[in-house]
Amino acid sequence: MMEPPSSSRCQLHGSASPMILRRCLFLLLLVLPSCCSPALAATPYLVGMGSYDITGPAADVNMMGYASAEQIASGIHFRLKARAFIVAEPDGKRAVFVNLDACMASQLVTVKVLERLKARYGDLYNENNVAISGIHTHAGPGGYLQYVVYIVTSLGFVRQSFDVIVNGIEQTIVEAHNNLRPGKIFVNKGDLLDAGVNRSPSAYLNNPAEERSKYQYNVDKEMTLIKFVDDGLGPIGSFNWFATHGTSMSRTNSLISGDNKGAAARFMEDWAEENVIPNQAAHVSSGNPRRVSALISEPNEITDDLIRLASSFKASGGRQISGSNITRRIRSTQQNKPKFISAFCQSNCGDVSPNVLGAFCVDTGLPCDFNHSTCNGKNELCYGRGPGYPDEFESTRIIGNRQFLKAVNLFNSASEEIQGKVDYRHTYLDFSQLEVNVPSSTGGQQVMKTCPAAMGFAFAAGTTDGPGAFDFKQGDAKGNAFWRLVRDVIRPPGPEQVKCQAPKPILLDTGEMKVPYDWAPAILPIQIIRIGQLVILCVPGEFTTMAGRRLRDAVKNVLTNSGQFDDNIHVVLAGLTNTYSQYITTYEEYQMQRYEGASTLYGPHTLSAYIQEFQRLATAMVSNKQVPTNLQPPDLLNRQIELLPGVIVDKTPPGVTFGDVSSDVPANSTFRKGSTVNATFYSACPRNDLLTDGTFALVEKLDGSNNWVPAYDDDDWSLRFKWSRPAKFSSRSFATLEWTIPEDAPSGVYRLRHFGASKPLIGSIKYFTGTSSAFAVR
């Protein structure tokens, strides 16, 4: 036990006076809590977790990822979320990691989130200890990045997309901060073999044979998972890092979706609700269970009486409601229950595709050309196939489910406790002119430079996950005369830039294009977060498999050679973090000029620059030194151009009310589990109100007291919200609710309900709802 200071010691010898005894008892009470408290003695960390809805506009907005102008959002597959953990030493440093169901992080989003955190908490959370990372779904609304090249297809900046992400991240971190409690963290890792393949194998093969021989696979198969355990409540969540692209959903999809990683997170959080949270019942008061099956006992059979009961509930017709009456998402109503949070984070996914069956020509069914991913010389015909081909939703489910099952396995078997201090380092670098020491041909060292950003011809060819157009192709180190002429009209690259970027033939010299403002970033953040023996390398782009391996190994060598870490160190790479700067290949892969090499913005020595600067960060961290920088990225919010027109007015036909049914469920209908039921409603543009933390779609079940109970909403895998207009500029619109009845749905009487918000020509937004006729599920 810790002794009190000598001037305050209790000398209990002879006949102690009552005053001395009272004094000793008082000092003992002061000392015991600090030295003998089980929680403080056993737990080195405070742990907090949070999540919040970041679903953007489900209509009219171009989706971010494929750069396809035709891919416009028109509904919701399931909602997007921000998820965060905070780990803090009780009297020391703390770190925040936020995972977004978004294509990537945005520098402008990061800047504005940090401003809000500073207003709330002072310097407690800042650019050094906050990391914001994207899962790389290609099915989320775009327009939230600040550089021109990333918002061309979204018709410029989309303030609604931007605001919902910034607000959601802030609320997520606030929730995690408020949830900080003593807890432990465990780490585990294992291989997942069937959730990713290399989509540029010819470039990977250009890496040295000796280096390739160290690895069994041409993509990283390892998933690293950390498990959070609250000292009082038990397990409260997990985060994992695994490399595979968010491209199970194709560029023809128009429903907002978290793709395979968002699906995996949804599956694991629902799994935890059934398998983890019930074990915490002794620690919390009772609340609403997630699933309707826990609310209502299932009938033994569907009787004629039940079918007649269902047929007695006709479509309600639309009616106005107040905004406060919009049903909150079912998961959000569980205020008295702990919330399990699971995030499936991105890693070095640059050349990793979830379309694991391979790439085939759509015209012949034969494999695509190995070197160029073309079919008879055309890239437009070469597509990767997911495991559920030709059903992209099924492919998304399968790849998500594979990640989920591996995560559950790692979660259940995690036994290695994370121990050690929390630390971090962060700096900004000008990648347009960074000096890099690289090996020379004579065996020595030479100083080279990175280049201003530029994209090569093969960038326009796209990938097997989403091919480009015209006559571009991957592996093109020359370009062609026509597109060079087009390029030169826009901005011809100078001879120094051409030399610096070689052998990349420059299609867009984005780093030197400044009208109406910067087309591409130059100032980039790099960051290391340490939590005990876990080290997270936060990178602002998409590293290929081998590029990620080289970076991880280089940092690991610095850390283990310092004597502060043993071989049990876990180094993970968090891709698409804090901002976005496209791809990072190895020097050898860059020579091949496939899509990833053509999209490596800062030239052939980009990876060497990252390795050099991350080694510097790691050295500073183990030496307890700071990394000063005078650089700051630009804040271009006030210069953003928004060309997407706003909603003018919503209308219905004469005699029709918003929320009325346009196409009802068939009368007196009974559906079996696994079948699909749908109804269409007269609706309004979803951009009028995103219904954040609410829902556009609801499945309700009739309970034994003839009350309608929420069962499934638009954050459920089984329920899709589809929005449409009869014509492009029509003021009329429709909402179709499509429910594929889960196999574990209880039998009984159900109906579909739609919520929305309409905009009159003059006046404020008005909210409405309507229901379909009821139907029986057997």
> What are the tokens at 528?
């290391």
Residue 583 marked ligand-binding: yes
What's the pLDDT tens digit per position in 376-417? 999 999 999 999 999 999 999 999 999 999 999 999 999 999
Q: CA 668, CA 746: separation in Å to the nearest integer?
A: 19
127 is in an annotated binding site: no
Q: What are the backbone dihedrals phi and psi of residue 245, each rounded to the nearest 5 degrees, phi first?
A: -65, 150
Burial of 11 (0-12, 13-18, 19+ CB in 10 A): exposed
- Residue 311 · residue 774 · CB < 8 Å: yes
Nearest to 458 by CA among 606, 601, 599, 605: 599
Position 125 scores a pLDDT of: 98
User: What residues contact 392, with CB distance under 8 A and at least 6 apart?
Assistant: 248, 249, 250, 253, 386
What is the 3 state secondary structure string of 680-734? EEEECCHHHCCCCCECCEEEEEECCCCCEEEEEECCCCCEEEEEECCCCCCCCEE
3-state secondary structure of 674: coil
Would you give the end-to-end CA distance of the chain in angstroms? 66
Q: Is the pTM above the cut of 0.75?
A: yes
**Residue 217 dihedral angles phi and psi, to the nearest 5°:** -125, 160
The CA distance from 498 to 603, in Å, is: 10
Q: What is the pLDDT of residue 43?
A: 63
Q: Which residues contact 441 (CB under 8 A, 6 or more apart)?
A: none
pLDDT score recorded for residue 301: 57
What is 94-156 written as a DSSP string?
A: EEEEEEESSSS--HHHHHHHHHHHHHHHTTSS-TTTEEEEE--BSSEE-----SGGGSTTTTB
Catalytic residue annotation: 353
Dihedral angle of Cα 710, 713, 718, 721, to the nearest 10 degrees = 130
- The C-alpha atoms of residue 402 and residue 178 are separated, in whole angstroms, by 33
Annotation-wise, does 542 bind a ligand?
yes
- Asked if residue 98 lies in contact with residue 82, where contact means CB atoms within 8 angstroms, the answer is yes
157, 641 in Cβ contact below 8 A?
yes
Residue 740, phi then psi, degrees to nearest 5: -90, 115
Whether residue 602 is annotated as binding a ligand: the answer is no
Domains and CATH numbers, the chain: 46-277+339-348+400-426+518-577+617-639 (no CATH), 303-335+646-777 (2.60.40.2300)
Alpha helices, H only, 213-294:
259-275
Q: How far is 617 from 530, CA to CA, in rounded Å? A: 12
DSSP labels, 588-603: HHHHHT-HHHHTBTT-
What are the residues facing 529 on neighbouring strands?
424, 536
Rounded to 5°, angle at Cα 674 from 671 and 679: 55
Q: Is the peptide bond before 182 cis (omega within 30 degrees of 0)?
A: no
Intervals of the chain under pLDDT 70:
1-43, 279-303, 306, 327-337
Token duo for residue 202: 């010819």
